[in-house]
A and B are shown apart, each in its own frame.
Chain A
Amino acid sequence: MTDDRPRVDMTQVHDEVSRRELLRRAGLGAVVLVYGGAGAKRAVAGVPLYRHKELKGTLKILQWSHFVPAYDKWFDKTYTQVWGRKNDTEVIVDHISQAELSARVAAEAAAQKGHDLVATLAPLPQYEDQAIDHKEIVQEVSAKRGKIKDVCYHSIYNPRTKKYFGFADNYAPDPVNYRTDLWGEVGLKPTSWDNVLKAAPKLRAMGHPVGLGMSNEIDSNMFLMALMMCFGSFIQNSHGKVTLNSKGTRDALKFGRDLFKKGMSNEIFAWTASSNNQGMLASRLSMAMNAISITRSAELSNPELGAKISLLPIPKGPHGRLGLEHVMHTYMVWKFASNKKAAVKFLADLEITYKGAFLNSKYYNFPAFPSAVKNIKKELGDDRWGANPAKKYVVLDQISEKYTHNVGYPGFTNAAIGEMFDTFLIPQMFAEVAQGKSTPDGAARDYHNRINTIFAKWRKRGKV
């Protein structure tokens, strides 16, 4: 068959379009592009953000501003965007300061509206009734990455209701940060609480006290509860019965009082989450219990100082070496979330491929499922952000494996523990004794009763 249609000389076509006509057509095309595209979701200058398709769903996430700015950049601009394209979902991430998360979460719970996913630095079992059961996520990740770490399991599961009230994607080990040069002058190392008590007066006399808070803030909460465990003091037993009024608690309180009197100053009663960071970075403090934000900040702002700050596991006490996580980063999918399906998938996918988060957080975020990041110890040894000495962070592996327990250990982190944590009862108990407002016996008894009341309330509600 032959084509009898008249042939068009394309070179001629080009010549036949006048400049005015070209401008007119281009202008018309631009109008179509701009106004046509304006209807598309998140269109920029008329061109859809994602080629070929409109994103069907939206997933809104609220979480803290990570201490590593690059982590938020990676999470917001890379990870969530790539995930969003794959899953036909626009992911919007909002950040607020960690200290204000509780207020915002409370407001969303009251309004029954807000983000699909909220993340907090400690589990919030108080909101169990408002959250979905996250079992499906745990099961999916377990199928691909093995068992969840015990400390995380005990932090997000309620054995009474058999419900996962949250999903921990990561936790941060809580090492001792200490100045090797200053402790070297004293001739000791903070490997035991006994050593800390011996060194503290000398360090204070040198103008470099130890900085361990007794204030209403997260670091004091974590340090003091860990200290108690090293002295054989536990808030509850494995059955959820309050056991605070014990010899261990009295011993821990006496130790706290002695440490304050011999080696610290009144500033620890006005401690904030940033106090130990600032004190260490200003070369004033000789020791703090904190995650790696101190050393990472020092590496950037003052490398010589950074080289003098070393990490160790929690000091050993009469009952042994028992520590807590510094942060248990827990996501919660609200029951009222408008896109529960995407939220669940997002969390499972995040955990299954956790290496990116681990690296971009500069090893702050330890995976809740250890197998999600292969060879953690080797990664820690190959630090790529200026650790000095190079293997400084390897000790985190040992701390995470051996000395990291959940808040409320040996029991679960239940709603009563959550309320006790949020109301800072433990720092208040230590501060009262250290300031001489109460005796160790009286404080242990008084706070046992107070915590018992909280437990009774939650037991009545069927959550403990």
Chain B
Amino acid sequence: MRFRGNLGSYLVTGPFAIVLAFPFYWMLWTAFKSDRDLYNVDNIPYKFSQGSPTTRNFSFLFHHTEYPTWLKNTVIVGLIVVVITLALSLPAGYALARLSGRFGQSLGIGIFLTYLVPPTLLFLPLSRVIADLGLQDKLASLVIVYPSFTVPFSTWLLMGFFKTIPVELEDAARIDGASRIVTLLRVVFPISLPGILTVVIFSFSLVMNEFVYALTFITTSSQKTISTGVFTELIRGDVFFWQGLMAAALIPSIPLALLYNVFLNRFIAGFTGGAFR
């Protein structure tokens, strides 16, 4: 009965789900294909034959490339960038939402606009900066540069979220003798958890996907992140090792997809929190 009641919703969301899940299906399927089967057009995209399915591609990834190192580097950079992003965007978002009035609104939009400047314009001047800092070929270069695009977006997002929290709650805490910092830590931030989680997941995803800076600042294999390491080892000249590429993309996307699902409701609340204010 419940299914029948939701039939309309399923009919609308079903096609979307299929279209959006198809790339993941394609990754999964290709990751288990043998060389010969990959190029057998009769078997695409539903069948296996000629030595497939095989786990050889995963084995190659872990035993013949530095994939585990790239995974580790990605996680390290991601976590540090998330911490920096939160440290900067939480107070900035709150200040813009509460303390600056109309000026804050304009400043918030201004900060968001910097997020729209593409890395393809910035990588050349930033290369000089990174070289002058002596950070070429070091993960620290990414840790310094990535907040330049995670902080503006997160600040803008949190600013909208903080605006949805009634000021009366803070006033009550202040009347009870709490300082602004204590009010922030004990009242505002706990209520803002969906927004904070959104910032964490979104910033981490941005770091995982980033390519241009990772490519131009780092060439040493042991310092690469997934986005460039995989690209270098599994695209050799004009020969693409598709199965390995798909396996390499699939592995980090699974935990990230699970994370999104676990916090789905909070994630939606985080994004839509400031939508009506």
Q: Which residues of A contact B (CB under 8 A)?
A: 62, 64-69, 72, 92, 94-100, 103-104, 106-108, 110-115, 219, 273-274, 276-278, 281-284, 290, 293, 297, 300-302
Contacts and interface: CB of A to CB of B under 8 A. Distances in A.
Given A94-B219, A111-B130, A281 B39 contact: yes
B124 A66 contact: no
B9 to A, nearest CB: 36
B102 interface: no
A114 B36 contact: no
A103 B123 CA distance: 9
A185 B127 CA distance: 56
A178 to B, nearest CB: 17
Contact of A65 (B41, B127, B233): B233
Contact of A107 (B39, B216, B232, B239): B216
B41 A96 contact: no
14 contacts: A62-B219, A65-B235, A68-B236, A97-B231, A99-B235, A103-B212, A104-B215, A107-B124, A111-B127, A114-B131, A276-B238, A282-B40, A283-B39, A290-B238
B239 A100 contact: no
Given A67-B238, A69-B236, A95-B219, 20 more contacts: A64-B237, A66-B236, A67-B236, A68-B236, A97-B231, A97-B235, A103-B216, A104-B215, A104-B219, A106-B124, A110-B125, A110-B127, A111-B128, A112-B128, A114-B136, A273-B237, A277-B239, A278-B240, A282-B41, A300-B35
Given A64-B237, A278-B240, A96 B220 contact: no
A114 B135 CA distance: 11
Contacts of A97: 231-232, 235-236
Contact of B231 (A68, A94, A100, A104): A100
Contacts of B232: 65, 95-97
Contacts of B238: 67, 98, 219, 273-274, 276-277, 290, 293
A283 B130 CA distance: 47
A176 to B, nearest CB: 16
Closest 3 CB pairs of A and B: A67-B237, A111-B131, A94-B219
Interface string B222-241: 00000010011101111110
Contacts of A300: 35
Contacts of B236: 65-69, 72, 97
B216 A278 contact: no
What band does the interface of chain B fall in when counting residues whose beta carbon is under 8 Å from A? 20 to 34
B52 interface: no
B221 interface: yes
Give the secondary structure class of B's interface. Answer: helix
A98 B127 CA distance: 20
A108 B235 contact: no
Contacts of B130: 111
Contacts of A67: 236-239
Contacts of B35: 300-302
Contacts of B40: 282
Interface string B39-59: 111000000000000000000
A306 to B, nearest CB: 12
Contacts of B228: 96
A107 B127 contact: yes
A186 B160 CA distance: 67
**Which one of B35, B41, B124, B236 has the greatest number of beta carbons of chain A within 10 Å?**
B236
Contacts of A281: 39
Nearest to A298: B39
A103 to B, nearest CB: 6
**Which one of B35, B212, B232, B239 has the greatest number of beta carbons of chain A within 10 Å?**
B239
B121 to A, nearest CB: 12
Given A65-B233, A94-B220, A283 B136 contact: no
Nearest to B129: A111
Contact of B237 (A115, A293, A302): A293
A301 B123 contact: no
Nearest to A61: B219
A281 to B, nearest CB: 5
A282 to B, nearest CB: 4
A66 B219 contact: no
B208 to A, nearest CB: 18
A62 B216 CA distance: 12
